[in-house]
Every structure is written in structure tokens, then in C-alpha cells.
Amino acid sequence: MPNSFTYSIHFDAQQQNPARLHKGWNITHGTLVEHITRCPWSPIVWAGGTRCKKNFLGTNLAVLDVDNDWQLEDAIDYVRRIGAWSLIGTTKSHTPANHRFRLIMRWRRRIEDVSLYEQNLQRFIKTTPADPACRDGARLYFPCRKIVYRQDGIALPVLSPRPRTATQTAIQTGTDKIPPWMANELATGIPEGRRNRTAFRFAIHLAERNVAQAEAREILAPIVSPGFTESELNKAVWSGYRYKRG
């Protein structure tokens, strides 16, 4: 398990200090607390210190920004269950009635590709009420007001990249027409070579849920790509519905 990371701090403009790049810090709660509670900061390092997604160099930290639907107790229970090294800090808008906070965890290795970073962070965004915008490769955070929880534990594994053909915003989640496992597969992307068979399998499940065939084609539209055309999707859906009927 690595014992150092690259981490960037972007100081408040009133201090008139340029962005600074810090290397080789030990990963300790104390180091993070010192910086994330006193100035704007980011877990991401950018080339030249210029905050821009295309300048993404790397990060060792995962940050979830929570503005609603989760209480502090829920987040604490979550990191306890997965046993993750973590730090939770409230924001200036946090109140007893409306919990606003950031959950910081650590990757097992440095992520140096912005697409890989977004895909791995999306895993946690899908299973928590975190703001989807926190996976942005140019994300900057204002200081936390108070650190309310810290925990030693394991670092998060970094999963291999997967081809992406859709995002969660491109599909109809939140309805009982799409089972959670199907929504997750559509959100993370179907690898090439499996799209025809996957569309056929999905069509069978949608037919079982009495989803209209035209609506099924619309739900599965994110699978369409240069390697899997709309006509191929229509044929796969038709075959799935025909298989279900007969």
C-alpha cells in the first residue's frame, strides 16, 4: 500500500498565492485536516497547476460531495461497513436539519488517467447520494468547516477501465421498468463484442416487465455506437420480444 501521494492545494485569491503542488506527503489524517479546513483545495493535481480537466495528472483520493438524502450517521455507517480509510468534514452550509459534508477516501494506487478516475468514482456515486459533479476532473472544493469523523482502514481498489457508451443521465433510471442491475450496466457501458447479445438479453427482461417494444428501444438506445448501429439494436430488441412471446 503506498505511503505517499501527490496532492494539490489552490489557495484563496485574497492571499495572492499561486497554486502549489505538494509531493511526497505521508497519507495521514492530520496532513489533510490541516489543509482542507483552511483554504480551497482539490484532490487532483493538474499540469502546470492550471485547473482544467485536460491538464489532469493524477490523484490518490476519492471525494464524495453530499448535499442531501444522507445524514452524517449514514456516511459513518457506510465507511465502517466497507472498512475504508476515510475522513468526513462538514461544509459551511451544514446544519442539524440539512447535512452537507464531504467524504474523503483513498485509492489503493494513484490514478493518472481522467477517464479511469471518473469511471472508478462513478462506482461510489451510483451507490450513495453523492453529487455526480464530484467526479469532474477539474473539481475544486471550498474549505471544510469541521472534521467530524476519521477512520483508518483499507484503500479503495482501482478497477480496470471499461468502454463507456452511456451515462446515467442518458438512461431512464428511477422507474420500476428498469431493474437496478440493468441501469448499472447501461451506466458503465457495454464492451464491444457483447452489445448484440446484451441488447437481446435486456429486451427479454423488459418484455417480462410489460414494457412496450418501442419504449424498450428508447431505453436501450445508449448501447448504439459506431460498432453497433440503430438497426442492429432494433433487430436485437425485436428478437428478444419475439423470443419472450414464443
Residues 22 and 94 in one domain: yes
Q: Are 132 and 118 in contact (CB under 8 A)?
A: no
Residues 147 and 48 in one domain: yes
Residues 96 and 61 in one domain: yes
Task: Name the one residue in this structure whose C-alpha cell is 462538514.
Answer: 90
Residue 185 pLDDT more than 80? no
Q: Which domain holds residue 208?
A: 168-245
Residues 198 and 118 in one domain: no
Residues 30 and 139 in one domain: yes
pLDDT of residue 209: 84
Residues 118 and 174 in one domain: no
Decide if 90 is inside a domain.
yes
Decide if 157 is inside a domain.
no
Residues 23 and 57 in one domain: yes
Residues 56 and 138 in one domain: yes
Nearest partner of 42 among 150, 138, 144, 124, judged by Cα? 138
Q: In the 8-state DSSP scheme, what is residue 157?
A: P
Residues 146 and 172 in one domain: no
Decide if 56 is inside a domain.
yes
Residue 182's CB is within 10 A of a number of other CB atoms, namely: 19
Q: Annotate 68-90 with DSSP letters as a single string.
A: SS--HHHHHHHHHHHTB-EEEEE
Written as nine digits, the cell of 57 is 495528472
What are 73-123's pLDDT values in tens digits? 999 998 998 899 999 999 999 999 899 999 999 998 889 999 899 988 988
Record the pTM.
Answer: 0.59
Q: Report residue 47: phi and psi, to 5°.
A: -60, 130
Angle between helices 180-188 and 195-208 (to 10 degrees): 150
Decide if 161 is inside a domain.
no
Domain end call among 151, 178, 206:
151
Decide if 145 is inside a domain.
yes
Residues 174 and 145 in one domain: no
Decide if 159 is inside a domain.
no
- The total of structural domains in the chain comes to 2
What are 7-61's pLDDT values in tens digits? 454 433 333 333 444 443 345 666 788 788 888 888 898 888 788 889 999 998 9
Torsion of CA 223, 227, 231, 232, to 10 degrees: -80
In whole angstroms, what is the distance from residue 12 CA to residue 69 CA? Answer: 30
Decide if 192 is inside a domain.
yes
Written as nine digits, the cell of 245 is 412471446
Nearest partner of 238 among 184, 200, 201, judged by Cα? 200
220 burial via Cβ count (<10 Å: 0-12, 13-18, 19+): buried
How many Å separate Cα 90 from the centre of its chain? 20
